[in-house]
Amino acid sequence: MSFFRNRLDAYPRLAEYHLAQELGYWPYYKTVESASRPRFTIEGSDYINFGSNNYLSLSYHPKVIEAAQRATSKYGTGVTGSRLLNGTLDLHRELEHELADFYGREAALVFSTGYVANLSTIAGLLHRQDYAVLDKDAHNSLVTGAQLSAATLKRFSHNDLDRLRRVLRDLPDDPGKAVIVDGVYSMGGETAPLDAMLDICLEHPNTFLLDDEAHGLGVLGDRGRGAAEHYGVLDTVDLITLTFSKTLGSCGGAVIGSAEAIELLTLEADTFIFTASNTPGSIAAALEGVRILRDAPEMAAHLRANVELFVGLLTDRGVPVNPAESAIITIPLRKDDEVSAVVLARELLDAGVFVNPVVSPAVPKGLGLIRLSLMLDHTPAILEEAAQVMVKVLAHNDQLPEE
């Protein structure tokens, strides 16, 4: 028997996975056949789209598409090298300058993906003698970056300020310490209390705060700059990381902060130094996305109004909704096991609404909930239609609270 067969057979939930596939309930790796619009096409059928992180609907914005096309015509489809060698275009420099200016910081550094941005930032700045202090619900890219750094990993309960204080109090003063959080958490949509966390960090020497704004950019703050702006710490949080694959409708990532931090990463971050550079089209698309958001900051407020409208449409019909702090809405289930979440997602799909079922490890093992991401271009008519469908399917599955 081959190595791969042995490893596959040892997968702890292989039988459940195969059964879900056979019954048509496996909810992942669907084949999408259109742009990620409010209505999109999956495997030949059209659905209302609540599964995308295309928050400002920029991935199909005409100006973003035109920018990507122009850059591809000028520079080709790829740069065929790393940023260190031949992979730094004037486009990269321009995007880094505009991101730093947009956030009011000294410098920025662009990476090929948001995941690599987090890996590179953490592993490039922390060493074996240092400490990485992560929220229990921190994104996988943040956890993996901490592991790659070889720093000692410490965890604190989700958004638990008292526990964070105790963890930092027990650490020695001399080593470096990074407190690492998501400004907006990807599965629940809740924010990190960045103002209070920053105050705690300032009480301890050699400590900095890294805020991942993957799901905050374009959603929170007066100018759409994320949870750090929302909490009034945009100028003082030490490092902000971003992904371009959500709000900016492209692919890539960045870290924004002091000139010293950025210079250090260009020298120390192996996952940056040895990774191929972004394609020209993706950089140009992200750059145009930043400019659109900069020139029309009201888009973030419009998106939040969509969230408020949809939460009202659901709650008025008796659908429980977890507190919505971002563009992510989560629905707790009366039957909150994983199977019920997957079955409900499948039946919603059959009724024309695409949502994300959230199961372990994104939530505690055995539990499940339904996650929806809203977009700027979700119209009131689409939201009304979706609310009607969801109430019907939830009721059919006995997932509404008992009266």
pLDDT of the residue at 166: 98
Q: Which of 279, 295, 311 is the last residue in one of the domains?
A: 295
- Count the domains in the chain: 2
Check residue 351 and give its pLDDT: 97
**Collapsing DSSP states into helix, strand and coil, what is residue 209?**
strand
Q: What is the pTM of this model?
A: 0.96
Residue 29 lies in a domain: yes
Residues 259 and 108: their CA atoms lie apart, in Å, by: 8
Q: Note whether 41 and 90 are same-domain residues.
A: no
Question: How far is 30 from 52, CA to CA, in rounded Å?
Answer: 12
Same domain, 78 and 214: yes
Q: Compute the distance between CA of residue 286 and CA of residue 282 in angstroms, rounded to an integer.
A: 6
Same domain for 72 and 154? yes
The answer to whether position 54 is within a domain reads no
- Over residues 22-31, mean pLDDT: 91
- 268 occurs within a structural domain: yes
**Is 307 in the same domain as 286?**
no
Residues 193 and 314 in one domain: no
Q: Let me know if residue 56 belongs to a domain.
A: no
Predicted pLDDT of residue 403: 63
Of 244, 263, 295, which closes a domain?
Answer: 295
- CATH code of the domain in which 221 resides: 3.40.640.10
Residues 266 and 143 both lie in one domain: yes
Alpha carbon 380 to its chain's center? 25
335 and 375 both lie in a single domain: yes
Separation of alpha carbons 387 and 392, rounded Å: 9
DSSP character at residue 278: P
Q: Is residue 7 part of a domain?
A: no
**Over pLDDT 90: what percentage of the chain?**
90
Long-range contacts of 336-339 (CB under 8 A, 24+ apart): 336/367, 336/368, 336/369, 337/366, 337/367, 337/368, 338/366, 338/367, 338/368, 339/368
* Cα gap 306→325, rounded to integer Å: 12
Regarding whether 66 and 43 lie in a shared domain, the answer is no
Q: What is the mean pLDDT of residues 370-374?
A: 97
Q: Which of 110, 154, 375 is nearest to 269 (CA)?
A: 110
Which amino acid is residue 152, in one-letter code?
T
Q: Are 280 and 94 in contact (CB under 8 A)?
A: no
Let me know if residue 91 belongs to a domain. yes
**Region 49-76 average pLDDT:** 98
- Sheet strands side by side (includes 328-337): 328-337, 367-373, 356-358
| Cα–Cα distance measured from residue 215 to residue 186, given in angstroms and rounded to the nearest whole number | 7
Whether the predicted pLDDT of 13 surpasses 90: no
pLDDT of residue 363: 79
Structure-model confidence comparison of residues 38 and 358, the more confident one: 38
Pick the closest to residue 218 from 246, 190, 187, 257 (CA basis): 246
What is the pLDDT averaged over residues 93-118? 98
Residue in the block written with tokens 């702006």: 229
Strands 39-42 and 328-337: unpaired
Say whether pLDDT at 108 is over 90. yes
Per-residue pLDDT, averaged over 200-206, amounts to 97
179 shares its domain with 41: no
Residue 115 located in a structural domain: yes
Please write the tens of the pLDDT for every residue from 304-340.
999 999 999 999 999 999 999 999 999 999 888 888 9
CB-count burial class (<10 Å; 0-12, 13-18, 19+) for 226: buried
Q: What is the pLDDT of residue 366?
A: 80
- Of the residues 273, 295, 317, which one is the last residue of a structural domain? 295
Contacts of residue 280, Cβ cutoff 8 Å, sequence gap at least 6: 71, 72, 74, 75, 76, 77, 78, 79, 89, 91
287 within domain boundaries: yes
Residue 401's pLDDT band (boundaries 50, 70, 90)?
confident
Question: What is the average pLDDT value for the chain, to the nearest integer?
Answer: 96
State whether 287 and 305 are in the same domain.
no
What pLDDT, on the 0 to 100 scale, is given for residue 361? 79
Give the domain extent around 126: 62-295
Residues 159, 108 share a domain: yes
- Shared domain for 42 and 111, answered yes or no, is no
Q: What is the pLDDT of residues 380-391, one digit of tens each?
A: 999 999 999 999
pLDDT digits (tens, 9 = 90+) for 269-300: 999 999 999 999 999 999 999 999 999 999 99
Query: What residues form DSSP beta bridges with 131?
Result: 152, 177
> Residue 212 and residue 326: Cα distance in Å, rounded?
14
- C-alpha–C-alpha distance, residues 216 and 213, integer Å: 5
**Which CATH number goes with the domain that contains 304?**
3.90.1150.10
1 pLDDT higher than 70: no
Instruction: Determine the Cα–Cα distance for residues 202 and 135; give it in Å rounded to an integer.
Output: 17
